Chains A and B, each alone.
Chain A
């Protein structure tokens, strides 16, 4: 058997101190999550000692109508704000990518503002906005009563979409667009057949970002939510204020599984060679 060469400078995995370090990092990252998930199956009111396996907290979870309603609210808000963010974000990205106009740099900077402004400031700003400037009418039927939260969520998640889409468009070969025009396609047909397919992976990534940002946002939602518009994170928070019950663990586990599945699905979509081929084949230059 040939003797293995000594590990190269970047072959961290072949040096045992690095492996140990890596294990430490993983432990640090995932141990709390695993503990949380494990204790959701613990047959005990207290979260300290393992008493035995049970699914009763999941049953309780699905009987807790307030929590379910909050969960439904969260999903609705996330879905709507994702769609709206996607449209606004993609359009903003296209404008910034495609055109030159006075104030472009300013707009570019302003677009990144919701990303860098502390969430608490955004939350307070939203509170003031909906209290003083444009009060959202009370007592509207579901899901219209979620309007204020949706608007707040769109305002902080569409810049993420814009940033992702714009980064993707930077790799677009303008000759591709011209080729479509040259072959007889009109403006809209060109957008549909050439620009959108190139943009697609970034739309998926942007949507995923927007959805997860909205789903787990607490601070801004807390400031914009009314008594009858509680979202899942806000509800969990209020439950924790009394005690961390396995019910909360169960609810969190459901949320984690949901997010992981969603991410996996999005990654699989992005891994589709047809969607990403533009990287290699596009620019001859």
Chain B
């Protein structure tokens, strides 16, 4: 399963002076559903377009199956793309759209018709072959674009923001379908998206980019739980970042002192960072527990010494989201901490009220330590 299919070797793409993609090296393996994730303008689309052949790298090489294709024109590459606007040809019927790539490749008509029917069936558009694109809904047009690309049996399928133009309900449905589709056809998918939920839900592995630079390549859960930088921690999901100093760093535990927090952060593992250097503790809102304040004794979750990882605060804002509620709690010093709490029972949301004083605490394993 870990046979590399696509390799970017020190790829840089400059538009004028601006480096849209800056020295990116990346390997995508056969059968992966790979996501390129980042805010708009981070270079993810440029990377995808270089793979499709619409841009050529200024420096570096792109290999597909070990072959350098950096300067191969798009029509000679074993990849196909589903465009953001779907780019379905409006003057052709659905079937003609799907057949187009095969026609260009001079696939005999009988074979072609069979493959078109098969592809339409695959994306659940069987029977709509004679329709014109303007008689289709947005979701259906996307399926045409998918079928049109898949019918060519590419080595890699590229998807440019595949779900961005769909409404919320349809997006949910297409997510599942894209996954099923990929399992069915067994082709490597590479998707570009700015939507972290989409990337986490679909991809087997994600690359997070920012300003043309690759920040982290990891599985979705690793990205979320073990981000390697403040950018990634902040970009993927919600996070409370505390800047501080690495005061203790032993193999068994570490302590970060943050001026924003009245208590120190205790960690049940070593960090191997520069002692006394700046470090950031990133704590996800759902990993902070809320406790009623009864007396002055802070709660202790049992995995850290007394006096760590617990802080009192006042609930300043709450938002009921159905499945969970989020709170903003102001702690001594004025810093607000985001906390998320699952509504496990139907009465949960009534437990904590605006203006109430509460304890916040977290496990010693919960904070992620970031050194950059």
Question: Can you list, as one digit per residue, whether each of B88-115 has a CB less than 8 Å from chain A (1) or not (0)?
Answer: 1111000000001100110000000000
Give the bracket for the number of chain B residues in contact with chain A: 20 to 34
Closest-CB distance, A7 to chain B (whole angstroms)? 33
CA distance A179 to B49 in the complex (A): 12
Question: Can you list, as one digit per residue, whether each of A263-285 has a CB less than 8 Å from chain B (1) or not (0)?
Answer: 00000000001110110111111
| Residue B134, interface by CB 8 Å | yes
CA distance A179 to B149 in the complex (A): 9
CA distance A207 to B127 in the complex (A): 39
| Residue A185, interface by CB 8 Å | yes
Question: Can you list, as one digit per residue, whether each of A19-41 has a CB less than 8 Å from chain B (1) or not (0)?
Answer: 00000000000000000000000
Q: Which B residues are CB-close (under 8 A) to A181?
A: 53-54, 73-75
Given A175-B85, A277-B132, A281-B141: A183 in contact with B90 (beta carbons within 8 A): no
Q: Which A residues are CB-close (under 8 A) to B132?
A: 273-274, 277, 281
Q: Which B residues are CB-close (under 8 A) to A197?
A: 89, 91
Given A277-B132, A281-B133, A284-B138: A179 in contact with B84 (beta carbons within 8 A): no
Main secondary structure of the interface of A (DSSP, over half): helix
Given A178-B74, A182-B52, A183-B80: A278 in contact with B91 (beta carbons within 8 A): yes
CA distance A274 to B86 in the complex (A): 18
Closest-CB distance, A191 to chain B (whole angstroms)? 13
Q: Which A residues are CB-close (under 8 A) to B74?
A: 178, 181-182
Closest-CB distance, B354 to chain A (whole angstroms)? 42
| Residue A193, interface by CB 8 Å | yes
Closest to B80 in A: A182
Q: Which B residues are CB-close (under 8 A) to A277?
A: 90-91, 132-134
Decide if A280 touches B152 in the complex (CB within 8 Å): no
Given A178-B74, A182-B75, A184-B101: A284 in contact with B84 (beta carbons within 8 A): yes
Q: Which residue in A179, A189, A280, A284 is a CB contact (below 8 Å) of B89?
A: A179
| Residue B81, interface by CB 8 Å | yes
| Residue A83, interface by CB 8 Å | no
Decide if B75 touches A184 in the complex (CB within 8 Å): yes
CA distance A230 to B165 in the complex (A): 60
Decide if A179 touches B91 in the complex (CB within 8 Å): no
Closest to B142 in A: A284
Q: Interface residues of A, CB < 8 Å — how many? A: 28
Q: Which residue in A183, A189, A284 is a CB contact (below 8 Å) of B148?
A: A183
Residue picked from B85, B88, B91, most chain A C-beta under 10 Å: B91
Closest to B91 in A: A197
Count of A-B contacts with CB under 8 A? 92
| Residue A212, interface by CB 8 Å | no
Closest to B85 in A: A284
| Residue B83, interface by CB 8 Å | yes
Interface residues in B176-234 by Cβ distance below 8 A to A read: none
Closest to A176 in B: B87
Given A183-B80, A189-B104, A281-B133: A178 in contact with B75 (beta carbons within 8 A): no
CA distance A121 to B227 in the complex (A): 72
Closest-CB distance, B16 to chain A (whole angstroms)? 13
Closest-CB distance, A280 to chain B (whole angstroms)? 5
Decide if B84 touches A278 in the complex (CB within 8 Å): no
Decide if B83 touches A175 in the complex (CB within 8 Å): yes
Q: Which A residues are CB-close (under 8 A) to B133?
A: 277, 281
Question: Can you list, as one digit per residue, whether each of B359-372 has a CB less than 8 Å from chain A (1) or not (0)?
Answer: 00000000000000
| Residue A145, interface by CB 8 Å | no
| Residue A47, interface by CB 8 Å | no
| Residue A194, interface by CB 8 Å | yes
Decide if A281 touches B88 in the complex (CB within 8 Å): yes
Closest-CB distance, B282 to chain A (whole angstroms)? 36
Decide if B100 touches A183 in the complex (CB within 8 Å): yes
Residue picked from B80, B81, B90, B104, most chain A C-beta under 10 Å: B90
Pairs of residues from A and B, 7 with the lowest C-beta to C-beta distance, nearest first: A284-B85, A183-B101, A179-B87, A277-B90, A175-B87, A281-B90, A184-B104
Interface, chain B (partner A; CB < 8 A): 52-54, 73-75, 79-81, 83-91, 100-101, 104-105, 132-134, 138, 141, 145, 148-149, 152, 165
Interface, chain A (partner B; CB < 8 A): 173, 175-176, 178-186, 189, 193-194, 197-198, 273-275, 277-278, 280-285
Beyond A184-B75, A281-B133, 15 additional pairs, beta carbon < 8 A:
A175-B83, A181-B73, A182-B75, A182-B149, A183-B75, A184-B101, A184-B104, A197-B89, A273-B132, A275-B91, A278-B90, A281-B88, A281-B132, A284-B86, A284-B165
